[in-house]
Structure 1
Amino acid sequence: MTVFGVDAVEAATESTVAELVVGPKDIVTPLARERARERGITIIVGSPRSGGGTPTPPTVRNGSAPTPVPPEAPAFRRPRSNGFQAPPRPLRPPAPALYRRGAPLDPAVAPAVLHRPRSTPPSQPASSKSVHRVVVVGAGHVGMITAMKLAEANIIEEVVLVDIADGLAAGIALDLTHSTALLGFDTKVRGVTRLADAGVADYVVITAGRARQPGMSRTDLVEVNAGIVGGLARDAAAVSPNTVLLIVTNPLDEMTHHAWQAAGLPAERVIGMAGVLDSSRFQALTGLATQSAPSDITALALGSHGDEMVIPLSQARVAGTSITQTLPQGAVTALVDRARNSGAEVVGLLKSGSAFFAPGASAARMVLAMATESDEVIAATVRARGQYGISDGYVGLPTKLGRGGLKEIVELPLAEDELAAVRTAAARISERVSVLEKATVAS
């Protein structure tokens, strides 16, 4: 039995007699039949027509004596020249498209097609996995996007989603796994209901908590989410004592400080995601206002993830030009205000729930910056120890992240009013943390 694909039809097209001869047990794929109709090729079972008689087994003339053609070999009718007819053109292996449609396989050619080594994206060979496991706690919208972006990076052996809702994390993990061939990654994705079942992790991203509803501020969430985040931070440190915690749950600044105290990990290994998100929002909005690509906008959002967010305009650039020279002061002020309130704007539009695409992508970006030692300067919520005149406490600052978390707090030459605003943000965060600590002790 021989399988005839599109390539066999193309070969027949080149002959002066538009016929393709196949054996009684041979298979012609649907694509080959369709191509034959398009090219006007006649498919004959047996041998070429000669005077309308009954088809006979195909032969090839070699010299003066006819030689039977082996049953598995295809035969084409060729114009004779000096009593010689050219032997048929070999057609193996048949078109690989056949096997993608589950058609019968010729054992002689199937191994060559079915047992090819799995290919990996050329930019990311399978042997370059630099991180063993990342655990994302909370399989809601933010956790789902975080897990997806981490898996797509293809530098992590396994991404594990954790959620107490039975089947939620496992279902999302399976759905992500189904996309591996589409998106070109081979990261393992798993879902469990308990953090202890996730295994030891290099990084643990905590997204679990109650989301904001319309009319709610981040501060409104403080007590309910403190109970969730504190317990998860302790569990994560118990399972993975050398892990880095990345906090995404709101109110971000207070939850990061609370997670650090609950986990008992070094402050360098407990970091909050806020500055990356707020910086991205400002870049996107400025890009719209200036009709520029967001990648051409340089800016960092410091301070708190809320009312005390600070964007140092002395450091902001649009395609290399100071933003204050690109836009009127009123327009710049409006952009800063809109970026500061972007989370609430999204909540108001959604009516239920909060932003998740940009927060999830921001969390993944921070993990990847640590995993790859990117050495880029990004804004993160970290514990200051004298930098920018802040003696202690968590606040959003320019940083460089490394495999072990915070590698360096980068001190930029801020204007006096910008520096004062960052210090004010740190003081306000400390005040809210003190209130949270008293409430926690009282409960």
Structure 2
Amino acid sequence: MSHSASQGGQPPTTPRGGKVAVIGAGFYGSTTAQRLAEYDIFDEVVLTDIIEGKPEGLALDMNQSRPVEGFETKVTGQTTGADGGGYEAIAGADIVVITAGLARKPGMSRMDLIEVNAKIVRNVVENVVKHAPEAVLIVVSNPLDEMTALAAKVSGFPSARVMGQAGMLDTARFSNFVAEKLGVPVGSVRTLTLGSHGDTMVPVPSACSVNGKPLAELLPAEEIEALVQRTRNGGGEIVALLKTGSAYYAPSAAAARMARAVAEDAGAVMPVCAWVDGQYGIDGVYLGVEAEIGSAGVRRVVERDLSEAELAALRAAAEAVRAKQADVASL
């Protein structure tokens, strides 16, 4: 643990420790690395990419922001080769965030990316296993639920150590839309989505509130449904506006927060894509649920009381995802 004093001679309030790696230095990966570095809780953040020089250049730039932002975490950039060369930079990482893969273009669904991203994720995971065999994996590549299942299969890691980022992002989008609709601070809004990232996303109205008041008392059902639909299409709406590339500010915030929850080992409860084995009467599938997160990954899936309609929707989402996860295993 390093205890170097920050500017002004004040030692940091918490000791820094551990190493986190981000695979893929596109907008999503580089922004995630920046957020992780600025937390100032890690010794080192490693950023890798297959585009020669890109991760090194971004790391140099981020390190030069340290005196301004007042953090000491070191950022290391490393180009990786098709043969796995360069992955030694992630050796011993405690957490690995996998952002590698193609982003969506306008008119594409997340599922359209499945074959090309399956090959990329498989290759990345094989290299991670070689160099960081004890790491907790956080997968963000699309289609999310399927790539998380694939990463678990390829890695052979205990399922608790492999999770996907989707629920944090979907609830953030939902909360933001509710706050804008009602003209209230985002901090007063609590929402929850479970299920898959995409068409079978399951909003949980019974868990949604504003300043502690049930959302259903503040908005008519059809307006809540419209916000849910906008949340389901949240990524697509951004892709259509950007025309090149997809969302990364909110997604990277969500992924970084999950990595922080692992690092802090405090049992934070958040919606993530996790292995469900019996909870909600659902068996053997990666699915968006609430989970308690610690240094070894998912400590436990947190089951809440769902309405019959919510539970039915979650079970339907599980079956839809299960079929696709079986397909992806063969890619």
TM-score, reference length from structure 2? 0.94
Give the structure 2 partner of residue 269 of structure 1. 161
The 1:372/1:226 distance shift into structure 2, 3 A limit, reads: same
Q: What is the 5 A alignment of 1:36-435?
A: 118-119=6-7, 124-125=12-13, 128-129=15-16, 131-194=17-80, 195-435=87-327
Q: Contact 2:6–2:72 (CA<8 Å) still a contact in 1?
A: no
Equivalent position SS for 1:381: strand
- Aligned-pair CA distance for 1:374: 3.4
CA distance in 1, matches of 2:194, 2:272: 8
Cα deviation for residue 300 of structure 1 reads 1.5
1:11 — aligned with what?
none
After superposition, the Cα gap between the structure-2 partners of 1:412 and 1:119, relative to the gap in structure 1 and judged at 3 Å, is same
Q: Secondary structure at the match of 2:305?
A: coil
Q: Which has the higher helix share?
A: 2
State the SS of the aligned residue for 1:378. Answer: strand
1:132 Cα offset (Å): 1.3
State the AA in 1 paired with 2:323. E
1:386-428 CA deviation, whole Å, 9 max, x = no partner?
A: 0011011100001110011001111101101001111111110
Task: Tell me how far 1:120 sits from its aligned partner.
Answer: 6.7
Equivalent AA in structure 2 for residue 119 of structure 1 = Q
* Cα distance between partner residues in 1 of 2:232 and 2:188: 20
Amino acid at match of 1:216: M
CA contact (8 A) 1:279 1:300 kept: yes
The aligned amino acid for 1:206 is: I
SS at match of 2:217: helix
2:290 is paired with a residue whose SS is: strand
Overall identity of the aligned pairs, in % = 42
| Cα distance in 2 for residues equivalent to 1:280 and 1:409 | 20
Q: Secondary structure at the match of 2:141?
A: coil
Structure 1 residues 313 and 368: CA distance shift in structure 2, 3 A: same
Following superposition, the deviation at residue 124 of structure 1 comes to 3.6
Report deviation, 1:118: 4.7
Contact 1:120/1:185 (CA < 8 Å) preserved in 2?
no
User: Which has the higher relative contact order, 1 or 2, with Cα contacts under 8 A spaced 6 or more apart?
Assistant: 2
Distance across 2 between alignment mates of 1:383 and 1:249: 17
Measure, in 1, the Cα distance between the counterparts of 2:11 and 2:304. Answer: 34
Q: TM-score, structure 1 length as denominator? A: 0.71
Following the alignment from structure 1 to structure 2, what is the Cα–Cα distance between the partners of residues 369 and 436? 29
Q: Can you list the C-alpha shifts for 1:334-373, whole angstroms capped at 9, x where unaligned?
A: 1100011010000000011100111111100100011112
Q: Which amino acid aligns with 2:15?
A: S
Aligned residue identity for 1:386: G
RMSD of aligned alpha carbons: 1.5
* In 1, Cα distance between equivalents of 2:167 and 2:77: 28
Whole-Å Cα distance in 1 between the matches of residues 253 and 11 of structure 2?
20
Q: Which runs of 5+ in 2 are unaligned?
A: 81-86
Contact 1:120 1:184 in 2 (8 A): no
Q: Which digits, 9 at most, give the CA deviation of each residue in 1:242-261, with x for residues without a partner? A: 10000000000000000000
Is the Cα contact below 8 Å between 1:373 and 1:403 reproduced in 2?
A: yes
Secondary structure of 1:288's match? helix
Where structure 1 has 5 or more consecutive residues not aligned to the other structure, the ranges are: 1-116
CA–CA separation in structure 1 for the residues paired with 2:260 and 2:161: 15
Asked if 2 retains the 8 angstrom alpha-carbon contact of 1:300 and 1:378, the reply is no
Aligned residue type for 1:128: P
Letter in 2 for 1:376: A
Distance 1:302 1:120 in 2: 45
Contact persistence 1:311–1:336 (CA under 8 A) = yes
Q: CA deviation at 1:197?
A: 2.6
SS of the equivalent of 1:134 reads: strand
**Structure-2 separation of matches of 1:121 and 1:304:** 47
Alignment-mate amino acid for residue 269 of structure 1: R
- SS for the counterpart of 1:156 is coil
Counterpart secondary structure, 1:256: helix
Of the two, which has the highest radius of gyration? 1
**CA offsets 1:180-229 (integer angstroms, 9 cap, x no match):** 11111110001001222332200000001001000000000001000000
DSSP-derived class of the 1:391 partner:
coil
